[in-house]
Each structure stands twice: as C-alpha cells, then as structure tokens.
Structure 1
Amino acid sequence: MTGGESLVRALAAHGVTHVFGIPGTHNLEIYRHLGAHGIDHTAPRHEQGAGYAADAYSRASGTPGVALTTTGPGLLNIAAAVGQAYSDSVPLLVLSPGMPSNHPVQSTGLLHETRSQTGALSHVAGFSHRVSSVEEIEIAVARAFTYFRTGRPRPAHIEVPLDLLEAAYRPGAPRRAPTVAPHAADSSAIERAVRALAAAERPGIVLGGGALAASGDCLALAERLAAPVVTTANGKGVVDEHHPLSLGVSLHSPAVQEWLADRDVLFAVGTELAESDFWSAPPAPRGRLVRLDIDPAQMYTGIPADVSLVGDARATLPLLVGALPGAPSGRTEESARAVTDLRAKRDAETRTRDLRWTPWLDVIGRVLADDAILTSDSAQCCYYGALPHLRTGARGRFLHPTGFGTLGYALPAAVGAKVAFPARQVVALSGDGGLQFSVQELATAAQLGLPLPVVVFDNGGYGEIRDEMIARGDTPLAVDHAPVDLPALARAYGGNGVRVSRVDELASVLVRALDTPAVTVITIAEEGA
C-alpha cells in the first residue's frame, strides 16, 4: 500500500464518505484511491470554494468536512475558509501534499514550492501536522478526528510529503480515533448553577453554536425556567424561532441588550458573548452570569462567569433540567409577553432600513419547508435582513459565516449542504458583491444537477462599506460596481437565471427553482440601490 492509499483508507476508517477538492500534479496518488475506498468527490472551481463547501457539509451533517488541495497555491487558496471554520468552531480537515521529506531549506524552484505550508496553516487552523513517515499518516488522521471529538472543534491540516505519498509499505490494522462520550460539567458546579437558576426572578438564556447539538434540552430548559431565549448567529434555530419564548437572533438590538443586562441571572450556553455576537461591545450584566461551554477559556475570556460549567451541553443540560423546579405560576405568560414586546422594539429600531429585505424574506419563509437549509453571506441582506427576520424552525438550519466574516461563503456552502442532503431544500442567500467572490461555483452547482436556488439582493457593489464611508463623511470609493447580468452568467454556466422586480412574483419563481434540477440565480434589485 502506498502512503496515498493509507491516507484514503484512514479517512474511510473514520466514516468519511465525501471530500471536496481539486486534483493537481502533486495529489494524484490520493485521488487514485478515493473510489476504491467508497469516498465520493465534488470538485469546486477554487480551493476556497472547496473549503466553504466542506465547512457547510460539516455544519449541516454534524460530521467533519474534508477538503483536499494540492501544494503551494492550492493550499494557500483555502486559508480563508480555514479561518472561517476556526472562528465558527467547525471540524474541517484539510489534506495536502507537501515538499519531499528531504527537501532543503534553501529554495530549489520545485513546482509549488512554499517556504512552510505548516507554518502558514498552523497560524490559521487549530493545528497543522506534517507527517515524517508513511506509518505516521494514519496516526495523523486519527489525531485529527480525536481533536474533533474531545473539545471545541477547530479545523486541522495534515501535510504528507510527496515522496511519502508514493512510498510503499506493509500496513497493519487501520488506526482509529477512540469514541469519546460527551462529558458533563462537574457535579458541584451543576449544583451551584441549579441554585442560581432556581432563585432567579428575571432569568434569561443566550444560546450559541455550541448548543446546536442539544436543541431539545435547550428548549426543555427554557420551558422549565419560563425564560426568554436569544441566540447568536451560529445559534440560530437552536430553539424554534416560532416558539413564544424565542427572541431569535437579537443580541444586536439595544432594547434586547438592555433587557439582557437587567437579568438577575443570565445563562449562556456555547457562546463567546463576543463583539461579533453583539455587533458592539458586549453589555456588562448587572446580575449573575452562568456559563456552560466545552471550552474552559470561555469562563474567563470576555465576560467572566460567576458560575462556570465546563462540559458538553448534550451531557450537562439534562442534569440541569432534571434538578430544576418548575417556574413560578404565571411566568411563562409574562415571558411570552416580554418576548412579543422585545421583538416589536427590536424591529422598530431598524424598520426603515430593513424594509428593503423583509417583504422578500417573508415570502421565502412561507415557501420553504420547515427542514430547509439556508446558507448565508457577510451581506446586509443576510445579517440585517435574514438573521433576525427570517425565522428558522428546530428542523431547519441557517449557516452563516460569523466572526471571521468572510465573503463568498453562501454559494459554495449551498453546494456542500446540498451534497450532504440532496433531498432537502437548500437555498443560498447573498448580495451581489459577496456572490462574486465565489461566483465560479455556479459551475459546480450546475454540475450537481440538483435544485439549488441562489437568491441575490443586488445593491450594485459593497453596500455595507458604501454606507460606512458615507457615515464617516467620506466620498464613496471603489464600492460601486458596474452592473453584472448575474442571471445570464448562471445560464452561461449551465443553470437558470431570472430577475424578480415585484414581491408578488417571488413565490412562484422560488417554487419553480426548488422543483428544477439545476442551479437558479434569482436577482432582486434593492430599493434605492
């Protein structure tokens, strides 16, 4: 067996059935063995697209996403996707060849020669591992999957020198990462949390991406406490946003921030409570803060916890819920009224601005099935529009690139989500500026031959940066783009495209796109753009 086959065998041993990547001169020994080990492959048109697709595949499926690049520029092209996965705690595994084991430090001009691939990726990923022998390849893969299973998930990179990919050896039994059961927080910490929450008169709950796998327990906790729930962007849909206790994604709202600060006990699960969650400096809570997170650093980073629960939400929340008494009589109705009032205040704060998106988003919400997957971008229509206003149910998913805040995520992410769940509705939501960071992935989407609508709000460039320049008193520069016929571009790639000018036209167009086995770009001109 060669090192290349050893790598593929190790992936298969860890349950990998799909990878995203682009073949190149130096990774062909890996590609040679994918089919024989039952691993399917999707080829995006750029490595960054491969990274975003694998990222979304992971978020949607709950399993690690795998991306395969060649050396040098191929690997560096995926770095932005690795940074996004790190920011959003996504278990993304990037595999690449590397310079030969005995390659000199002094440059020799070898194809794709890079000073240090591991040096570059180690400062973006959770770790970068260059193997030193063919026998170490399977160990490195097992290390990555152990890493994904034993703490806060982060992306990892494995580099296999060219000579080791081609080297032959006699393999033993496959090396596998051990199964790791979710661990609960310390029992004494759980007791302190129960006392704090049981005594709370004005409880509130903040849920982040670390709570996604414990959706049912989060709902049970909210109902036991009769406490309103607000989520981060990554926590969107942890609790059904149609539930009377759900405020949805609302941490950016001044009214909601003031409400949070006034809680006598605030319970935060799987969230950093960071500036990127609040879109401003996080408000200091005036009451006690109970934090549950798998990452111990969250107990003292940012807003420090008064009660620290270090453990997996899946294992810890059932113990909390089981130990808590029921809420006082009448609190459920009082909290539901507070949620209704806070939603109204939140929406009033930005109603004039948001009207350019909300009528369209209402239509999208009515058309989509309750288990639909939406992929999003760092675009105004997404973070101002869809995050707070397009409600997601407990069976649906909304995949958004928060924190790192990359552009060009939505389209390749939709490809990854559709590969993970071909039968579910998947819709990409983007702006025209963001879409063009990865617009070549229309070719990948067309090649899938599956229904994949891409809804694009066109504001003629970089709307957010334009607005920021104007707010500073600057003359807008380099933010207004020449018009692009995006529907025609979709047709050129083998898909479909249509412009929609009226809200009452969107439903039928979207329904048709969801029933047509092709990518369909639907452009909407933003009012005033």
Structure 2
Amino acid sequence: MTAHLPEPATAAHPPEHLMTSPPPKRVTTSVLTAPGAVPAAAGSRTGGDVLVRALAAHGVTHAFGIPGTHNLEIYRHLAAHGIAHLGPRHEQGAGYAADAYARVSGKPGVALTTTGPALLNIAAAIGQAYSDSVPLLVVSPGMPLRHPRQSTGLLHEMRSQTEALRGVAAFSHRVSSLEEIGAAVARAFTLFRTRRPRPAHIEVPLDLLTAAGEAIPDRAAPAAGPAPADADALAAAAGALRSAARPALVLGGGARRAAAELLRLAEELSAPVVTTVNGKGIVGETHPLSLGVSLHTRAVRHWLGERDVVLAVGTELAESDLWDAPLTLGGTLIRADLDPAQMYTGLPADIPLVGDARATVRALLAHGLTAAGPGARPAGPDPGAVHRSVAALRAERDAETHERDAHLRPYMAAIRSVLPADAVLTSDSAQCCYYGALPHLPVGPRGRYLHPTGFGTLGYALPAALGAKTADPGRPVVALSGDGGLQFSVQELATAVQLALPLPVVVFDNGGYGEIRDEMLDRGDRPTAVDLPPVDLPALARAYGGHGVRATSPDALATALHRALTTPGPTLITVPEEPSR
C-alpha cells in the first residue's frame, strides 16, 4: 500500500521548540522536533545512530513519541536521517497516532518511548494495533545490559519490559549488541511485509544507545512480493463461485488493498457485499450491491445463512465483527486470508485460500468466473433484481434499529453532506460511532473510517486524527467521539493546536458513558459511576488555543463543520444529547 506522504518539515510548518525543566521524569517536546545531531567519533556510530539509521533505511519518515532521560540518544539522530517527529501529550496518544498514520499512509507507524511508565502507557495502543492488524513498531530503551535482576532503584526500573510487552505485541525483542539493532529492525519490517501485520516492540539497553562501534553493518528486510493462494485451492474456489446461484462477499480490513478487484468480482457475480467495521467503505456504501456494515443485524445474518456460496476476505468473522453469536451458514464458505489460522478459527473454511488478498482475488478473476464453456457459470440473476433485493434488505436492516438510531441519522447525514469523498473519519468506542456513523454515514473507497475494533479502546479518535493528518496534511480529517471517550485523550487538543492544521472534533455529549449506562439498566441495575459532571468542552478547546462551538441541530452541525474544515487548528463541536435512557 502506498500513499502520498508529507515532507518531514516544510516552510509552512516549521519545527517549534518548547523549553522544559530538566528531568527527573519525562521531558515534553514540540509537535515537530528536529534536534541537532551530535556525531560520535569519526568512523564510529552510537547505538542510537545505528537504530535511527536502520529505521530510515526501511522508509521511516515520521515518528511519534515523547523524549525522556533514557532515549535522548535516539532523538539526537532523528533529523540527520530525515525523520520528522510529532510529540503528543501522552504515550497512549502517540501509539494511536502512529496506528492511524499506518492505516492512512500504508507504511508502518513508529512510536518512541522512554523506559518504564512511558512504555506501559503505550501498551493499550499496542493492544489495539494487534487487534486490528496494524503495523506498529514501538521502540524504547531498556535497563543496561548487565543490570542486576535484583531491583536497584534505577529511574523507571521495572522487572521486565519485554515480558510485559509480549502479552500485547506480536513480539518484544531486547537486543544485546550494536550489531543486533539493525537485525531487530529488519525482523519487524519482515513481519510487516510478509505476515499478518501486527505490532512489534524493540528494546535497546540504554548503555547500548550511547555505546559506539565501528563498521556496524546495515541490515534490511528482504523484499517480498505478495503471493496468491495455492493453485488447487484457487481452482476449487473459482469453481464454487462460478456455479453459485446466490453468492455473497464478506469483506474485512485485510481486503482493503484489493478494493478495485473485489468491486469487479462483486459486479461480475452480481454478489451483494457486507463488510466488517474495518472493511467499511472497501466497496462504496452507496453502491447498489453494498449492505454496508451490517453483520450484526438479524436481517443480514439470516440472509447470509441462505447464500449458497460466501467468500469472506480478510476478516476473522469474530465476535467483534458480529456483535453476537457466530454466524450459521448453509452454503460453502471460502475464506481468503494472509493468516493461516483464520482457516480453522471461528467458522472453518470449506475452501481455504491462504495468501495476499489482492493477489488472490486477481487470480480468482483470471479463472474467468463468467466465461462460457464447460463448467461455466449458468446465467446469473438479473442485476436489477439483485439491486432491488439489496435495497429491500437495507430497509429491513434499518427497521431493526430505527428507534434507537433515529436521533443520530440526521446528524450523520449532515456530516456526510459536508465532507468530500476522500475524507478520513476517526472514531471512538462511542454510541454516536457504532450506532450512528458505522451504519448510517456512508463511506467509499476514496475515504477512510478508522475505528478501534476488537480491543475496543477509548480515547482513540482524537490522537488518531493527528496521525491521519500527519500522513496526509492536505486531506480532510474529522474526529468523531463521545464525551466520555474524548476525556481519555482530550489533552491532545494541545498537540492539534501546534499542528495548526484544520481538524474538526465532533463530540456527542450524553453526560457520561452512555453504552455502559444502558447495559446497567438492561440488567436491572442502578446506574453507577456512569453519569459524569458536565464539562464545557468548547471552552476547554479554547483554553488549549483552539476553537469550540455547540451545534444543537443537524443544520448547525453542518455549518460548524464546514467552517472548521478551513479554520487552522482544532475546532471542537459539541452536539448535546439527552441520555439514551
């Protein structure tokens, strides 16, 4: 995946520097930091230089993080190797920003932390990236090579950073020599290129960061081209699709790079398309074959059960996709995924296609699914009839949740009316997102909708918007959140002010944790700790140096959003809501 990326620093957005007092703890930094490099002795390179050089060799142009006492040798070399730096106000925000940067740019996101608490702060973001298959590399210092296992009280000391991170990352690698630093970076990028992309952590002992060595060899991840699935399995899948009378496609986040090929496949087969949350918009949600994000609805689940062939691409078909019990399918299930484990996890595949999504779908199309000849597909249903049946199914789907979603739908229409087709929306675990935007704010292949699926973290939307803006500053980005989730990362408004780029932040304020309040009431419990004292969020945005307004109607939201898209800095737009119960 490729995307246009900004230069590390431009005249329009020069680096800014903030003065802070010396540590004992972490040191905050500006949004874009370009510290002067101080080279080691002639002919030698420090561990920090080796590390940053290895990142740059793998195409890294941006990093997110907060400098601290133990990682200054990394920061020293960023500018010399052309790596720009964005400094959020919390390491969790750095992780979410790097996550969104990866999703929008198509390049791995890189986050830098210092030791101990900083690394633990980013752990939630690592868990979210693991859940959503995002290539995120977190780099941190560690205790010195010969640091005793018995605690000595060294600053930020903890029992084992690598053991802590192995619980949430694909791997956590502590290097033991200068030569191993480049190999560890290459290992991470090999994972990102050849396997299901998931987060990795590299720990460099702090004494290695400042140690110098000569003739340290550069290491590079091997070039790896995308491979399709096994030829025999492809032939079997093509045969099943060719003979299908009632085919359907289920698309997840792993199918995104194959968007054009999958649209062609759907149209050739007259196969309706339903997506997971991470697959939202792979096939435009206004297309007459699209059922959008609706795997969780009874109508669509029942309809899928009646299909004779279902092709699921790049999806786990997990509880986080279905919001309910596993699907029950009556026909043949073809699963295409880079991860072999998906062939027998959840719903086992009748025909497994293990390989890159784009290469696999291209290979399927090459089989001539609509060609004449022996074994050719019989005359399929009239496309017009299929389109009418999809429209009827959409209406049945929406009727299930009409009462629950009715107040949100006009606001989603207002947002859609203002945003261009290529806009990026970042989302939070909020009712306005999963009951509003996911089903009722259509997105097409030119746009993106970034949501914290699976792990379901709170506070993702605002820092993710910063990462998306860093990946493509000229592209419209809107953060969508609730008042509860926003306050997990509201301090990143300060970072958005420093970026000085237009960034609307739309917050639906229902006075607390609305979803948990509803769950308590459904259980017959008295709501506890879910009603939050009111906060004047627009005033808070202004206190940070941004802008803040209230929108009490869909028309007011559209007006405020239109203005915010051309106003430098963040504009927080509060939409007051009554509690859902």
Query: Shorter-chain TM-score category?
Result: over 0.9
The answer to whether the Cα contact below 8 Å between 2:127 and 2:169 also exists between their aligned partners in 1 is yes
Which amino acid counterpart does residue 149 of structure 2 have in structure 1? Answer: V
* Structure 1 residue 174 displacement after superposition: 2.2
Q: Distance between the aligned counterparts of 1:125 and 1:265, measured in 2?
A: 35
Partner of 1:402: 453
Q: Give per-residue Cα distances to partners, 1:461-483, cap 9 Å, x unaligned.
A: 00000000000000000000000
Which amino acid counterpart does residue 486 of structure 1 have in structure 2? Answer: L
- Given the alignment of the two structures, is residue 441 of structure 1 paired with residue 492 of structure 2, yes or no? yes
* Structure 1 residue 179 displacement after superposition: 1.2
Q: 1:72 aligns with which of 112, 116, 125?
A: 116
Q: Give per-residue Cα distances to partners, 1:330-349, cap 9 Å, x unaligned.
A: 43222211211111111111
Q: Distance between the aligned counterparts of 1:82 and 1:331, measured in 2?
A: 47
Q: Give per-residue Cα distances to partners, 1:147-189, cap 9 Å, x unaligned.
A: 1111100000000001100000113452111111000100000
Q: Give per-residue Cα distances to partners, 1:369-421, cap 9 Å, x unaligned.
A: 10000000010110111011100011000000000000000000000000001
Normalising by the residue count of structure 2, what TM-score does the alignment of the two structures yield? 0.90
- Given the alignment of the two structures, is residue 321 of structure 1 paired with residue 365 of structure 2, yes or no? yes
- Given the alignment of the two structures, is residue 343 of structure 1 paired with residue 400 of structure 2, yes or no? no
Q: Distance between the aligned counterparts of 1:335 and 1:236, measured in 2?
A: 21
Write the mapping of 1:337-486 to structure 2, written as runs, cut at 5 A.
337-486=388-537
The answer to whether the Cα contact below 8 Å between 1:250 and 1:388 also exists between their aligned partners in 2 is yes
The answer to whether the Cα contact below 8 Å between 2:280 and 2:293 also exists between their aligned partners in 1 is yes
Partner of 1:88: 132
Q: Percent identity?
A: 70
Q: 1:493 aligns with which of 526, 540, 544?
A: 544
Normalising by the residue count of structure 1, what TM-score does the alignment of the two structures yield? 0.99
Q: Distance between the aligned counterparts of 1:377 and 1:160, measured in 2?
A: 33
Partner of 1:9: 53
Q: Distance between the aligned counterparts of 1:29 and 1:480, measured in 2?
A: 45
Q: Distance between the aligned counterparts of 1:196 and 1:330, measured in 2?
A: 16
Partner of 2:66: 22
Which amino acid counterpart does residue 70 of structure 2 have in structure 1? Answer: H
Partner of 1:504: 555
Q: Distance between the aligned counterparts of 2:390 and 2:133, measured in 1?
A: 29
The answer to whether the Cα contact below 8 Å between 1:268 and 1:289 also exists between their aligned partners in 2 is yes
Q: Distance between the aligned counterparts of 2:466 and 2:186, measured in 1?
A: 27
Which amino acid counterpart does residue 284 of structure 2 have in structure 1? Answer: D
3-state DSSP class of the match of 1:343? Answer: helix
Number of aligned residue pairs: give it.
Answer: 529
Runs of 4+ residues over 6 Å off in structure 1: none
The answer to whether the Cα contact below 8 Å between 2:253 and 2:276 also exists between their aligned partners in 1 is yes
The answer to whether the Cα contact below 8 Å between 1:189 and 1:308 also exists between their aligned partners in 2 is yes
* Structure 1 residue 325 displacement after superposition: 2.9
Partner of 2:11: none
- Given the alignment of the two structures, is residue 305 of structure 1 paired with residue 349 of structure 2, yes or no? yes
- Given the alignment of the two structures, is residue 124 of structure 1 paired with residue 168 of structure 2, yes or no? yes
Q: Distance between the aligned counterparts of 2:82 and 2:357, measured in 1?
A: 33
Q: 1:53 aligns with which of 74, 89, 97?
A: 97
Partner of 1:156: 200
Partner of 1:267: 311
* Structure 1 residue 284 displacement after superposition: 1.4
The answer to whether the Cα contact below 8 Å between 1:273 and 1:302 also exists between their aligned partners in 2 is yes
Q: 1:280 aligns with which of 321, 324, 328?
A: 324
3-state DSSP class of the match of 1:515? Answer: coil
Q: 1:332 aligns with which of 383, 386, 390?
A: 383
Which stretches in structure 1 are left out of the alignment for 5+ residues?
none
RMSD: 0.9
Q: Distance between the aligned counterparts of 1:527 and 1:333, measured in 2?
A: 42
Q: Distance between the aligned counterparts of 1:399 and 1:210, measured in 2?
A: 14
Q: Distance between the aligned counterparts of 1:331 and 1:119, measured in 2?
A: 58
The answer to whether the Cα contact below 8 Å between 1:227 and 1:332 also exists between their aligned partners in 2 is no
Q: Give per-residue Cα distances to partners, 1:427-476, cap 9 Å, x unaligned.
A: 00000000001111111111100000000000000000000000000000
The answer to whether the Cα contact below 8 Å between 2:108 and 2:135 also exists between their aligned partners in 1 is yes
Which amino acid counterpart does residue 563 of structure 2 have in structure 1? Answer: R
The answer to whether the Cα contact below 8 Å between 1:356 and 1:526 also exists between their aligned partners in 2 is no
Q: Distance between the aligned counterparts of 1:300 and 1:330, measured in 2?
A: 32
Partner of 2:265: 221
* Structure 1 residue 527 displacement after superposition: 3.8
The answer to whether the Cα contact below 8 Å between 1:224 and 1:324 also exists between their aligned partners in 2 is no
* Structure 1 residue 528 displacement after superposition: 4.6
3-state DSSP class of the match of 2:213? Answer: coil
Q: Give per-residue Cα distances to partners, 1:225-279, cap 9 Å, x unaligned.
A: 1100000000011111111101110101100000011111111000000111010
Partner of 1:192: 236
Q: Distance between the aligned counterparts of 1:433 and 1:335, measured in 2?
A: 42
Q: Distance between the aligned counterparts of 1:331 and 1:283, measured in 2?
A: 27
